[in-house]
Amino acid sequence: MVSYIKKTLFFIPIFILVYGTNTYGLHAKKLYENPFGIIDSEQWVQESPIQFFIGFIVNFFTNNTTRTHWIVVILGFLFLIISVINFDKRYFSNNQIFKVLYFTPFFLVLFTWMGKPDTFLIGSLFFLVSFSSSVPLSFVFILFAVFSHPQIAFIYFLLIKYLNVFNLKINHYFSFIFSYIIYFAYLNQLSEVESRYSIISQGLERAFQTIFTNTLAGFISLFMWLWIVIFASNAIKDRKFLTSFIFIFSISFFTIDHTRIFIQLSIPLIIYLVKNDEFLNFFNKYFDKKLMYLLGLFQMQKRGDGKIVDGVNLYESEFFKNFFFRIIELIEKVLNIA
């Protein structure tokens, strides 16, 4: 626990400096006052209402939706960190899954899409794997996953079964079914909203433009540096790995935020990989070194219209824009004097 806190306090400022953060969700902050309310734009966020229900409770005490938003963001990261600590202790034999995820765009996605329910979704999966033997806790974490992203939660269920991440029992099946019943009851209470499906179906041309622009860089960005371990350890030859990869890649193919969706979908696949001794031995031998963690800072992701994003655009910052302008002015004065 102390080790995680130290690494987190050291790592977060560096990563934020390199890649920056975002403020997604502030346009929907009035849903913290009423999760069943109506918003004017990006209504599909109501398909993933977990943060609004949590925020509703928080806002009861803060009575400030902006402050509530950032508290919920922090709670999401705490939820994820605690879930990973439990996963490492109960499932991963006290290894650290964050070390493996560090060499993928995992952290890049979390920080640059801050405000999305990704932390609650992925944290729910790690908690579910850790406490799969507990009937009540399994139900709670399945419910959290469904309310974080119902489509990806369903894919998690299929991958858990196919990859045998843990032994699914009858209570898990009932928990999934009952969670979706509750979720659809929630949807029925909403006014008609624009869903993710309608956005994608209306923008198929943009989806194809996204996938076929910077295709090679986009493919590399999926697992980033972890591709080296996947190929070197022969994990790429594993039938279940290859089948699952093609499956989740095909799904992310039709999305605009291509790398982000793939990373979310691939978490069960990464859990499957770390159960492979050959994969883990190769990773520990060549990647679990301090110098290699500098390599892990170099990340990129593919976003809408096929744009490759590899860090924060410093020139969009007023501070840096003024700083660069003064440097240019100084250079011009020196040149004029010469």
pLDDT digits (tens, 9 = 90+) for 231-260: 999 999 999 999 999 999 988 877 777 888
Residue 309: pLDDT band (50, 70, 90) is confident
Residue 164: pLDDT band (50, 70, 90) is very high
324 found inside a domain: no
Tokens describing residue 293 = 């963690």
Contact 263, 104 (CB under 8 A): yes
Please give the pLDDT value at position 205. 66
61 found inside a domain: yes
| Mean pLDDT score, 252-270 | 88
Contact 263, 252 (CB under 8 A): no
Task: Say how many domains are in the chain.
Answer: 1
156 found inside a domain: yes
Whether residue 90 is predicted with pLDDT greater than 80 in this model: the reply is: yes
How far is Cα of residue 45 from the mean position of the Cα atoms in its chain?
15
Angstrom distance (rounded) from CA 48 to CA 241? 28
Cα separations (Å) of 71 from 46, 110, 120, 233?
A: 19, 16, 13, 41
Whether residue 207 is predicted with pLDDT greater than 80 in this model: the reply is: no
141-157 confidence digits (pLDDT tens): 999 999 999 999 999 99
319 found inside a domain: no
| Mean pLDDT score, 76-101 | 88
39 found inside a domain: yes
24 found inside a domain: yes
Residue 2: pLDDT band (50, 70, 90) is low
46-66 confidence digits (pLDDT tens): 889 999 999 999 999 999 999
Whether residue 314 is predicted with pLDDT greater than 70 in this model: the reply is: no
Cα separations (Å) of 290 from 3, 98, 165, 294?
A: 15, 14, 30, 8
Element containing residue 308 per DSSP (H, E): strand 308-309
| Mean pLDDT score, 197-213 | 65
Q: Which residue has the higher pLDDT, 178 or 299?
A: 178
Residue 93: pLDDT band (50, 70, 90) is confident
For residue 20, the enclosing domain spans: 2-312
Backbone angles phi and psi of 308, in degrees to 5: -95, 120
Contact 298, 217 (CB under 8 A): no
- DSSP class of residue 114 equals B
Q: If DSSP codes are grouped into helix, strand and coil, which group holds residue 76?
A: helix
Element containing residue 309 per DSSP (H, E): strand 308-309
Q: Which residue has the higher pLDDT, 319 or 31?
A: 31
234 found inside a domain: yes
Least confident of 26-30, 88-92, 287-291: 287-291
Contact 265, 252 (CB under 8 A): yes
